[in-house]
Amino acid sequence: MFDRPDSVGNRAVLVQLDFGDAGLAERLAEFQLLAASAGAELVALVQGPRRAPDAALYAGSGKVEEIAATAAAHNADIVIFNHELKAIQQRNLEQALGRRVIDRTALILDIFALRAKSHEGKLQVELAQLEHMATRLVRGWTHLERQKGGIGLRGPGEKQLETDRRLLGNRVKLLKDRLKQLEKQRKVRRRSRERSEVPVISLVGYTNAGKSTLFNALTKAGAYAADKLFATLDTTSRKVYLADAQRHFVLSDTVGFIRDLPHSVVAAFHATLEETAHADLLLHVVDAASEDREAQMAVVNAVLCEIGAGDVPQLLVWNKIDMTQGQAGVEEDGYGKIGRILLSARTGDGVNDLRSVLATQIFPTISTDPLAETGSGFSTDDSDRVSR
């Protein structure tokens, strides 16, 4: 499973410690997919139980020796922890292992950097990376004292670390200012949609639940979709016509969530994630084929609460039923309320059921005049490229 001799410079040893949390197998499978999505060549896996993280090395001296031996045996370039490491732990581990060490947060941010295509998406990723890096600058400069003098090198007497922090702080401020301008533009577009009474529906869900595939099935937009975590970071909004209601609505694809999503990511993407809180309805897309789906749904709901979208009405969409041998359809509770919609976005089975449900869910409180939104100013090509 792990041997792939074609990769260069990214031979990785993965480290997953067991602190007694539930769903360890699912966490491990997700971790391996994350590493592969970042382009790592997975050469070995080190596991082990532990009561609590070690203050200095996170894994403890004995386990670190095992990791070092494994890394040496497989000629690994990097060691990746499926945990969040403190700066001091990361520095100590790199010294002990003689190799690069990154944690789960840095791994996710690296994938985001690979996936971001739009200008705003790239700005948000860079901001998250810089804010994560700010706590670890000391790692790169511990060997330096004051800047040496000399022709062209006589600085203000700052330590190199202080200079680096100052430059980083300036860049962070610049990125935040640019993102605020983009946020203002997005608010103008949102007010335009609100005035035209065009409903907005946002797709939300755990990463790799099939949101982009469902987006394509409903809009025919051809958005990038793949069996990868965070396959598409940039979100697109499209106007969709519902024949049953003879009306349009705006469908927005949003960033896929993941457990232990770094706070720096949530903070950096807050402006675009905030769009979800202004939606009229959320389509919570669930991977019906995942044994971990209940935990994944809880993660999504927790992030929605964090970004202020916890009170937005939800419609559960269980996707990938073609992988579970289930039947497409609409499930209702004993009171006739829709519980969930089962479908396969890949095959299209059940997508028309979703369309019919949307027609009854989003238009009862809005004028039934099919010409109501004429001149809304929201073109079918209008696209908010944000985080995904």
- How would residue 388 be classed by pLDDT, with cut points 50, 70 and 90? very low
**Overall average pLDDT of the 157-171 stretch:** 71
pLDDT of residue 57: 96
Residue 11 CB-density burial (10 A; 0-12 exposed, 13-18 middle, 19+ buried):
buried
Range among 67-71, 154-158, 251-255 with highest mean pLDDT value = 67-71
Residue 319 CB-density burial (10 A; 0-12 exposed, 13-18 middle, 19+ buried):
buried
Contact 200, 288 (CB under 8 A): no
Q: Tens digit of pLDDT for each residue in 227-248?
A: 556 655 566 788 898 888 888 8
pLDDT of residue 276: 84
- Regarding predicted confidence, which is higher, 380 or 156? 156
Q: How far is CA 371 from CA 196, 223, 307, 368, 382, in A?
A: 11, 28, 34, 9, 20
Domains of the chain: 11-102 (3.40.50.11060), 175-362 (3.40.50.300)
Tokens of 291: 């044994």
Tokens of 63: 């386990």
pLDDT of residue 154: 46
Instruction: Please state, for a pLDDT cut of 90, what percent of the chain lies above it.
Output: 40
| DSSP string for residues in 217-236 | HHH-------SSTTS--S--
The answer, yes or no, to whether residue 281 has pLDDT greater than 80, is: yes
∠ CA 114-117-119, rounded to 5°: 125
Tokens of 250: 């705006």
Q: What pTM was estimated for this model as a whole?
A: 0.76
- How would residue 170 be classed by pLDDT, with cut points 50, 70 and 90? confident
The answer, yes or no, to whether residue 372 has pLDDT greater than 70, is: no
Angle at which helices 61-73 and 87-97 pack, to 10 degrees? 50
Tokens 């090198």 locate to: 153
Within 13 A of 316's CA, how many CA atoms are on the CB side? 21
Residue count (the chain): 388
Work out whether strand 237-242 and strand 247-253 pair parallel, antiparallel, or are unpaired: antiparallel
The answer, yes or no, to whether residue 321 has pLDDT greater than 70, is: yes
SS3 300: helix
| DSSP string for residues in 351-376 | HHHHHHHHHHHHSTTS---TTTTTT-
Average pLDDT of the chain, as a whole number: 80
In whole angstroms, give the CA distance from residue 13 to residue 295: 27
Q: Tens digit of pLDDT for each residue in 40-79?
A: 999 999 999 999 999 999 999 999 999 999 999 999 999 9
